[in-house]
Chains A and B, each alone.
Chain A
Amino acid sequence: MKIRTIEITGFGRWTNTTIDSLADWQVFTGANEAGKSTLKAFILGIFFGFSLRGDQKYIPRSGAQYGGALVVETKTGRYRISRINRTKSTLTVTNLDTGQVEADAEGFLTELFNPLTQADYEQIFAFNEQDLSQVSQLTGPDLEKRLLTYTEPQAQNWLNWADQEASQGQQLFSRQKTGKRPLNVANQEYQDLLDQRQSQADSLAEYLENDRQLSQIQGKLTEKRREVEKINQEIQEKKALQATWPLFEELQATRHGVGQQRPAANVNEADYQRGQKLGLDLNWVNQQLEQIQQQLQAQQKRRETVQQDDEIAGILQAIRANSAILAANQEKANKLTGQLTRFQQYFTGPIPKPLTRRQSALLERTNPWVATAIVSFVALLGSAAIIQSVLIQSPLALATIGFAFMASVRGQKAHKIRADYAPLSVATILSSQDQVQKAANAQNELNEGVKQQQLLIKELVHDLQDFDAKKFAYLQTYSGIEDIDRVLVAAKDAMASEERRPEQAVSDRVRLDDMLHQQQTLIKQKDQVQADIQELLHQTGLTDLKQLAETLQEQGGQAAKQQRIADIEGQLGKATLAKLGQYQSLAAIETAQSQLAQSRQQGQDELSNLQKQQQDLQVRQASLVSAEEYQALTQKLANAESDLQEQFAQYLTASLLPQTLKTAFSGQDVELSTNVTEQAGDYLARLTQGKYNRLILTDKKVRVIQSNGEEFAIGELSTGAIDQVYLAVRFALVKSLPLKEKLPILIDDGFVNFDASRREEVLALIQELAVDQQVLFWTFDEANPTGSQQIKLGEING
């Protein structure tokens, strides 16, 4: 490839500048700041892109558009390579022969320089004085690597392949944490699985805690079951005790019977017989006494009845007498009443009272006050007619009125009397005064009779009720005179019921005496029998005859009772008896049993509760140990790890491949003597004018051989000599590299430190190189090297 035209729209000091018809051996001359380095930077920028930071200093001062183009000749034709703008620059490659624009401009350039990168190109093909001075800083291995990388075509081929493999390998994994390449993703997935499994593994602690609790509950359950079982046994025992309680009771009673027997008593059959007889005797006497007593009581009763009869006779007597009086009184009253009734018929009103003497006089004499009044009146009239004197006439008038009043009062009294005696005349009235007086007496007598009757009736009623209260109870309310007939009827009734037997009293008295005698006799007999009984009891030590029989019977059944006690004791056993002995009653056992049943229920509830807890824990435990989760995750992790291992092995294999091959090829010391080293040796000999004529690499170190055969390490050489070694190697590389295109060499004031003769040698060498490939050489030295074309930059208007 050769650069024929440089077109700059804007780059550093250059604006709209075209430099064309560049020669194969092209020299650019110019003083400092003439733009020599700028041109070189422009060319590199077009080929490999403008460096954002480094090329900032090349922003055109004119303000023209940054960039430009190169026209190059290649094996495949002429191309115009244009790159415009510093940032986000646009690269365009146009085939000038066909006019076609390359679709993949970057690819075109990569292919053009393949396998060199920008760094490779700059290191080998483009250099300045500064680059050469840096050579001294390179170590042997560095230099060796740089050299080796490009010395051997076959190795290069392998290395290219290795780089491609490595590049593919790099697509699998990024060392950046944020990488999204397949292995980065797989790593994350693996980590997620680990986390999941970790969270599962945390359940181990819970499992162990559950297990501890389960063990505790198991212990409690066992203990509780034992307790409940014990309670059950006790309940069964209590039931058995209940069943045997009647026997126990019998035993207690029997024991009690045996215990109650009086050991002092000594009763035999004769005592018993005697006791029996005395008992019978006593009974007989008592019976007799009782009979007598009854008879005596009956007699006494009868006597009391006789006494009652006497009292009643008195009452009846009174009744009889009072009723006779009452009847006579009644008769008299009736008679008086008849007389009065008849006398009353003479009068219109009731019978009047007899007149007093005054009243009789009133009727018998005329009224004197009338005449007096008339006289007074006449006197008045007379006086009035004679003398009209008040002193006279007023007393007369008053006397007249007074006399008139007195006359009127006397007249009214007489009238009243006549009215009471109506229809009798005054004469009759006066003549009948004896009859009227008799009538008045009769009326008084009648009134007295009635009062007496009332007293009698009251007394009769009292007596009658005394006589027979029940029978005459109805008389209680009768007290008036109007009831007289009924009371009399009742009195008759009472009197009629009374009869008397006076002879009975005598016989009763005789009989009573007999009975009292008999009673005395019996009492004596009884005392005797009782004395006998007391003696017998004293002898036997008993308190009553009844005990005689019991004692005799008890004595007879004692053996049987003892046997029964032994039987029951045997049947129940000592242990049961001891237990039964703890209870006062069957109810006490039942209470104890009931309490036990409650305890059992409580125990069973606690058991259920514990079993529930146990079940819950077991369920939880089962869920914690479910095989599908943890074990599946574990295996999945192992599988993922296996896959990761495989993929990382691929990644690592590919990534390690380039270094492996470099190492492999770097071992070829012998190979290094070929081509480049030989060529470099030749160039070095020329550049050092034969002082050093060979260059070798042994033990991975660069050695330089002097003409006398002496070897020097790089570090042992002078700075100038090192420059020459490096230059020789570079030129040897340029010459030897198996590239598709022979690329232009760019040298920017590279030999300023060289003395004139060595500089001449270098330029001569370059001229040779320029036969095969273009050399662009920038220098301030205007001495035109042989065979070169010179462009004076100062003459170009940029």
Chain B
Amino acid sequence: MLKFIHAGDVHLGNPFTGLSQHLRTDFQAAIQKATFTALDRLVETAIVEKVDLVLFPGDLFHGSDNSALIQERLLQAFRKLDQADIWVAVSFGNHDFQQSQLAHPTWPDHVMVFDAKVETKEIMVRSGDRVSLTGFSYSDRFQRQSALPDFPVKDSQLEDYHLGLYHGAIGQNGEAYAAFNLDEMVAKGYDYWALGHIHIRQVLHENPMVAYSGNLQGLNRNETGPKGFYLVSDEAGLGLQAEFRSVAPVVWENLAIADCPDLATLQEELSARDFNETTLLSIQLTGTVGQELRENDSWGLLLEKLQQSCPSSAKYWPIKVDLVKPTEADVKPVQLPADVALDEAIAATVNAENIGQLLSEQVPIEVRDYFYSKAGQEDLQSRLQRLIAERDPNEN
């Protein structure tokens, strides 16, 4: 019998990104400690459920840039688990690869840390079963070589369970994040593969289970819905089965509201909804959108007004409001000559060189990097498109 927790991509202490500085105070507080709260909940579950071990397959930390608080909270979590006689297995991923070289407090004896080389650790759990764990830590931001070939095949004579910890993604050798082949992974004969790196919870293979638990706490508005970890057990006698446990104290949600006539109605609709956890809300207004909303949107005031009218007791906080145009035709600027290739012009203009000429070294590197990135340039492209589309022809 074996019971354990699989929690990939904890990103402990990582701030939420994409939020404005104009955030309600209580949300600010909840957000600041969200990853810690999620970890505490994990530890609590581990103790209540009397699991044998907890697996952290990479990106337990967000990066090298961590603090005394982060170290302390993690240490406390490890100590609690240690006191409850629960093993902890940690491998570092592409975000926290430097942690293996950085100093940290002395972790309890029950904490096993994987080296850069693939290695197998053997423990005996409460039931007396022998459990082998194989994993590795990143030694650089990118791991272009698959680590899978170095993982040994399970030896059923010597071990009752064999678990794999792997931080990476399916792909071809040479890709950035220790790309692996699923069939090869399954062929190792392991009882469970605890994957990390992908923040979206997903099961790649059943029996044996190969799964991403997703991240413990959503950190931006692309990471929506409940977040948490897998509680894995073979108590049901069907092999190791994973059950998702939601622990994220703050949830990012997308919400589409159709045919909203005005701000008051929008506020009513939001207030009528039930939010279990503190929720950061991205709202899409679809269908026919009332004039008041459209006007406020065009003046750039819609979100601000929605936030101002948000009741102080509300468990949600609107972070984005978009008016979704019903058809592509609406996006096309009608004023432009039909043969003007706007998309091509935008694509040709939005490039690192042009952007670089407009920025200076004073601009924070994070911001510059964003605009040099594909995501940032796509953002600029869509903004240009929207700006041109929404030009008032009578303006000039």
**Inter-subunit contact B21/A204 (CB<8 Å):** no
With beta carbons under 8 angstroms apart, the residue of A179, A215, A634, A649 that contacts B15 is A634
B363 within 8 A of A: yes
Tell me the minimal C-beta distance from B13 to chain A in angstroms: 7
**Known interface pairs A641-B366, A644-B367; A175-B359 also in contact (CB < 8 Å):** yes
A109 within 8 A of B: no
Known: A634-B32, A637-B15; 15 extra A-B contacts, CB below 8 A, are: A165-B387, A175-B359, A211-B106, A624-B68, A625-B69, A635-B28, A639-B20, A644-B367, A649-B380, A652-B358, A656-B350, A657-B387, A661-B345, A664-B336, A667-B340
B124 within 8 A of A: no
Stretch of A156-164, A232-240, A541-549 lying at the B interface? A156-164
Tell me the minimal C-beta distance from B138 to chain A in angstroms: 21
**Known interface pairs A191-B364, A211-B105, A653-B387; A626-B349 also in contact (CB < 8 Å):** no
Closest 8 CB pairs of A and B: A207-B68, A638-B15, A664-B345, A625-B72, A663-B345, A211-B105, A653-B383, A660-B349
A248 within 8 A of B: no
B245 within 8 A of A: no
A642 within 8 A of B: yes
A sample of 25 inter-chain contacts (CB < 8 A) reads: A161-B395, A175-B359, A187-B364, A204-B66, A208-B71, A621-B72, A624-B68, A630-B67, A631-B33, A634-B13, A634-B67, A635-B28, A639-B23, A642-B19, A644-B367, A650-B383, A652-B359, A652-B380, A655-B358, A659-B349, A660-B350, A661-B388, A664-B342, A664-B344, A667-B341
A645 within 8 A of B: yes
**Inter-subunit contact B69/A627 (CB<8 Å):** yes
B384 within 8 A of A: yes
A330 within 8 A of B: no
Interface positions, chain A 38-72, Cβ under 8 Å from B, are: none
**Inter-subunit contact A638/B68 (CB<8 Å):** no
A166 CA / B23 CA spacing, docked (Å) = 30
Chain B 341-356, CB within 8 Å of chain A: the 1/0 string?
1101110111000110
Measured CB to CB, the nearest residue on chain A to B370 is: A645
With beta carbons under 8 angstroms apart, the residue of A175, A203, A643, A657 that contacts B20 is A643
Measured CB to CB, the nearest residue on chain A to B349 is: A660
**Inter-subunit contact A632/B396 (CB<8 Å):** no
Q: Please, which residues of chain A bring their CB within 8 A of the CB of B337? A: 154, 668, 671
A265 CA / B13 CA spacing, docked (Å) = 96
**Known interface pairs A621-B72, A656-B350, A660-B345; A635-B16 also in contact (CB < 8 Å):** yes
B322 within 8 A of A: no
Measured CB to CB, the nearest residue on chain B to A664 is: B345
Most buried by A among B15, B348, B383, B384: B15
B88 within 8 A of A: no
Q: Please, which residues of chain A bring their CB within 8 A of the CB of B344? A: 663-664, 667
A160 CA / B16 CA spacing, docked (Å) = 40
Most buried by A among B17, B36, B69, B363: B69
B31 within 8 A of A: yes
**Inter-subunit contact A648/B367 (CB<8 Å):** yes
B121 within 8 A of A: no
Q: Please, which residues of chain A bring their CB within 8 A of the CB of B259? A: none
- The bracket for how many chain A residues form the interface is 35 or more
With beta carbons under 8 angstroms apart, the residue of A164, A175, A630, A635 that contacts B396 is A164
**Inter-subunit contact B17/A630 (CB<8 Å):** no
**Inter-subunit contact A642/B18 (CB<8 Å):** yes
Chain B 21-58, CB within 8 Å of chain A: the 1/0 string?
10100001001110010000000000000000000000
With beta carbons under 8 angstroms apart, the residue of B17, B69, B345 that contacts A641 is B17
Interface positions, chain A 301-337, Cβ under 8 Å from B, are: none
**Inter-subunit contact B355/A652 (CB<8 Å):** yes
A175 CA / B363 CA spacing, docked (Å) = 9
**Inter-subunit contact A204/B71 (CB<8 Å):** yes
Q: Please, which residues of chain B bring their CB within 8 A of the CB of A175? A: 358-360
**Inter-subunit contact B396/A160 (CB<8 Å):** yes
Measured CB to CB, the nearest residue on chain B to A169 is: B358
With beta carbons under 8 angstroms apart, the residue of B65, B67, B336 that contacts A203 is B67
B residues lining the A interface (CB < 8 Å): 13, 15-21, 23, 28, 31-33, 36, 65-69, 71-73, 75, 103-106, 336-337, 339-342, 344-346, 348-350, 354-355, 358-360, 362-364, 366-367, 370-371, 376, 379-380, 383-384, 387-388, 391, 395-396
A467 CA / B33 CA spacing, docked (Å) = 128
Q: Please, which residues of chain A bring their CB within 8 A of the CB of B67? A: 200-201, 203-204, 625, 630-631, 634
Q: Please, which residues of chain A bring their CB within 8 A of the CB of B66? A: 204
A670 within 8 A of B: yes
Q: Please, which residues of chain B bring their CB within 8 A of the CB of A705? A: none
**Known interface pairs A161-B396, A207-B68, A648-B367; A656-B20 also in contact (CB < 8 Å):** no
Tell me the minimal C-beta distance from B165 to chain A in angstroms: 26
Tell me the minimal C-beta distance from B5 to chain A in angstroms: 24
Q: Please, which residues of chain B bring their CB within 8 A of the CB of A639? A: 15, 19-21, 23
**Known interface pairs A175-B360, A659-B349; A625-B68 also in contact (CB < 8 Å):** yes
A754 within 8 A of B: no
Interface positions, chain A 162-191, Cβ under 8 Å from B, are: 164-165, 175-177, 179, 183-184, 187-188, 190-191
Q: Please, which residues of chain B bring their CB within 8 A of the CB of A526? A: none
Measured CB to CB, the nearest residue on chain B to A165 is: B387
Measured CB to CB, the nearest residue on chain A to B69 is: A625
**Known interface pairs A187-B362, A663-B348; A638-B387 also in contact (CB < 8 Å):** no
A369 within 8 A of B: no
With beta carbons under 8 angstroms apart, the residue of A190, A637, A665 that contacts B340 is A665
Q: Please, which residues of chain B bring their CB within 8 A of the CB of A630? A: 67-69
Chain A 204-224, CB within 8 Å of chain B: the 1/0 string?
101110011001000000000
A638 CA / B36 CA spacing, docked (Å) = 17
Interface positions, chain A 357-400, Cβ under 8 Å from B, are: none
Tell me the minimal C-beta distance from A94 to chain B in angstroms: 29
Measured CB to CB, the nearest residue on chain B to A629 is: B69
Interface positions, chain A 640-695, Cβ under 8 Å from B, are: 640-646, 648-657, 659-661, 663-665, 667-668, 670-671
A636 within 8 A of B: yes
A644 CA / B20 CA spacing, docked (Å) = 9
Q: Please, which residues of chain A bring their CB within 8 A of the CB of B13? A: 631, 634
A390 CA / B66 CA spacing, docked (Å) = 170
With beta carbons under 8 angstroms apart, the residue of B72, B346, B367 that contacts A645 is B367
**Known interface pairs A164-B396, A204-B71, A627-B33; A663-B349 also in contact (CB < 8 Å):** yes
Q: Please, which residues of chain B bring their CB within 8 A of the CB of A660? A: 342, 345-346, 349-350, 384, 388
With beta carbons under 8 angstroms apart, the residue of B19, B358, B362, B391 that contacts A656 is B358
Tell me the minimal C-beta distance from A106 to chain B in angstroms: 20
Q: Please, which residues of chain B bring their CB within 8 A of the CB of A659? A: 349, 354
Tell me the minimal C-beta distance from A213 to chain B in angstroms: 11
Q: Please, which residues of chain A bring their CB within 8 A of the CB of B72? A: 207, 621, 624-625
Q: Please, which residues of chain B bring their CB within 8 A of the CB of A670? A: 339
With beta carbons under 8 angstroms apart, the residue of A154, A203, A631 that contacts B32 is A631
Q: Please, which residues of chain A bring their CB within 8 A of the CB of B350? A: 656, 660
**Inter-subunit contact B364/A190 (CB<8 Å):** yes
Q: Please, which residues of chain B bring their CB within 8 A of the CB of A632? A: 28, 32
**Inter-subunit contact B396/A649 (CB<8 Å):** no
Measured CB to CB, the nearest residue on chain A to B363 is: A187
Most buried by B among A177, A215, A649: A649
**Inter-subunit contact A651/B358 (CB<8 Å):** yes
**Known interface pairs A207-B72, A649-B379; A638-B358 also in contact (CB < 8 Å):** no
Q: Please, which residues of chain A bring their CB within 8 A of the CB of B105? A: 207-208, 211
Q: Please, which residues of chain B bring their CB within 8 A of the CB of A212? A: 106
**Inter-subunit contact B362/A177 (CB<8 Å):** yes
Tell me the minimal C-beta distance from A6 to chain B in angstroms: 34
Tell me the minimal C-beta distance from A352 to chain B in angstroms: 145
Measured CB to CB, the nearest residue on chain A to B75 is: A211
Q: Please, which residues of chain B bring their CB within 8 A of the CB of A654? A: 387
Tell me the minimal C-beta distance from A220 to chain B in angstroms: 15
Tell me the minimal C-beta distance from B32 to chain A in angstroms: 4
A652 CA / B383 CA spacing, docked (Å) = 10
Q: Please, which residues of chain B bring their CB within 8 A of the CB of A655? A: 358
